[in-house]
Structure 1
């Protein structure tokens, strides 16, 4: 059994073929899609965060709005780039959104990836400390966010406050009990997956990672997940971890599916550079008739290792079509693979 969610990159553009021509379209359709996805039995609504682009950026207003209009579906990110974040302010935003949703947030965070502008976090007022790289800064801020989510007081109270304080040091409010167990680290390498396990974060592994062995993508990703699980066990944490992988999967069941994604059939992994000195491997898309899709997905070792599968969706094609895409996976594919 697996939890199955969708992952939206939240694109919009003034294009005649797009259902999302404005930011407003994307935000409102994201809410509608989450509501519809819950109704058909999808387990999670996740959203990517990008800055300086025609894509979703500030996640917490959207997550709170979805939380207010749904009752069961998990609501998350995949991922928030911590280089751009104030960890303490983010705790307040996340706590409020989680309370509105009744404890359903699943927040993916990371040190970040190449963005639309050079060192975009500098425009947000952030600089690495002396001797730090921007990746170091992202991990440091991620840990500060994660640790202070525990709700332990750390701030010295004013002896003459406007309102009475409780005894002791003060924590940030509102505090969302249990949210700390629902933080995921987006890992692009084996080492960062182990780091996430050591720090008791769940693991998100996307459709790309650093190419560390030359093996097919799904095998490298499965090895990454096994290293993560071994490190978690070695650390002796008291709860079971969660692991998600992302995939582009399309069951071709009608002419519209074949028109949009028929060309994705027989795709293979790709190699590229996401940083000047970092070779990366990009996982293939899956697009085929359900019977063929089931055979191909049964051989994906990383999906087998994960408890959560996030289906990347073409959000620009509108709510109705994306509900069809998700419904097709639930109806024709998931039961045959034992995911449902």
Structure 2
């Protein structure tokens, strides 16, 4: 059995053919899609975070609203750029959203993806320290955030507080027990996967890997997952970690499916440059269900991960994406042993 959810980039576009034409559209439809995904039997609703773009950004209002409208589905991010985050404020927001969702948040975080603007984190008031890179700053923010999620008191109470304090040092409120174990790091390399395990975070393998060894994307990603598990065991953590991969998967069941994604039958891995480094991107899968099952059975990374996030074309609207999820859960997942 595999956890299967969707990952939405949350685009909007005012073009007449887009079903998502404004920020209001994408936020409201994201909530409705989480509800629809729960109804068709999916396990997760995950959202990308991009600043300065016509996409979803700061995620906690959306996660809280989706949490209030659903009862079972996991709600998460893939991923929050920690260069932009105030760890203290984020811990409060995350705690509140997780309590509203009754412990269903699964937060993917990372050092971030290429930005829309130059050093956008500076506009949010964050400056790397002397000798520190922006990636170093992201990891520093992450360490602070993880410590705050432990829920230990650290702030000295005022001798004249507005309200009575409990004894001892104070922690941030609201605090949600267990959220610390539901933090994932979006890792783009094998070395980062090892670091993720050492920090006690779950592994969210990136939609691209910023390294290329010449092997297919799924094999490089499977190697990354194995290295994560090896490092987790070596670190001696006392819980079982989770790992996820993301894929674009389109069962060609209806004429509309063929019209939208029939051309993706010929998709293949791509190698390119991103932020000055060589990167490997995974292919899309598009075929009739029987052929799709055959192809996906050969994907070593999907087999290695316990969670599969389906990247969806959110601008096609809630109804079409609910159909897409239901097609995968009905026509593909059982044949691969992902569902009974």
Q: Normalising TM by the smaller chain, what interval?
A: over 0.9
Q: Tell me how large the CA RMSD over aligned residues is.
A: 0.7
Runs of 4+ in 1 over 3 A off after TM superposition: none
Gaps of 5+ in 1: none
- Name the CA distance, whole Å, in 2 between partners of 1:172 and 1:212: 42
2:306 corresponding residue in structure 1:
307
Q: Deviations over 1:274-324 (max 9, x none)?
A: 112x10000000000001100110000000000000000000000000011
1:248 corresponding residue in structure 2:
248
**SS at 1:204's partner residue?**
strand
Q: How does 1:33-48 map to 2 (within 5 A)?
A: 33-48=33-48
Q: How does 1:163-312 map to 2 (within 5 A)?
A: 163-276=163-276, 278-312=277-311
1:246 CA displacement: 0.3
Q: Deviations over 1:171-213 (max 9, x none)?
A: 0000001000100000001111111100100000122012241
- Name the CA distance, whole Å, in 1 between partners of 2:113 and 2:68: 31
1:6 CA displacement: 0.2
- Name the CA distance, whole Å, in 1 between partners of 2:215 and 2:192: 19
1:334 corresponding residue in structure 2:
333
Q: Which moved more, 1:292-301 or 1:154-163?
A: 154-163
| Contact 1:82/1:138 (<8 A) preserved | yes
1:158 CA displacement: 1.0
2:102 corresponding residue in structure 1:
102
Q: Deviations over 1:53-111 (max 9, x none)?
A: 00000100000000001000000000000000000000000000000000000000001
1:254 CA displacement: 1.0
| Contact 1:52/1:116 (<8 A) preserved | yes
- Name the CA distance, whole Å, in 1 between partners of 2:30 and 2:14: 18
- Name the CA distance, whole Å, in 1 between partners of 2:177 and 2:211: 38
2:30 corresponding residue in structure 1:
30
2:318 corresponding residue in structure 1:
319
Q: Deviations over 1:127-183 (max 9, x none)?
A: 101111001111111111112100001111111111111111110000001000100
Gaps of 5+ in 2: none
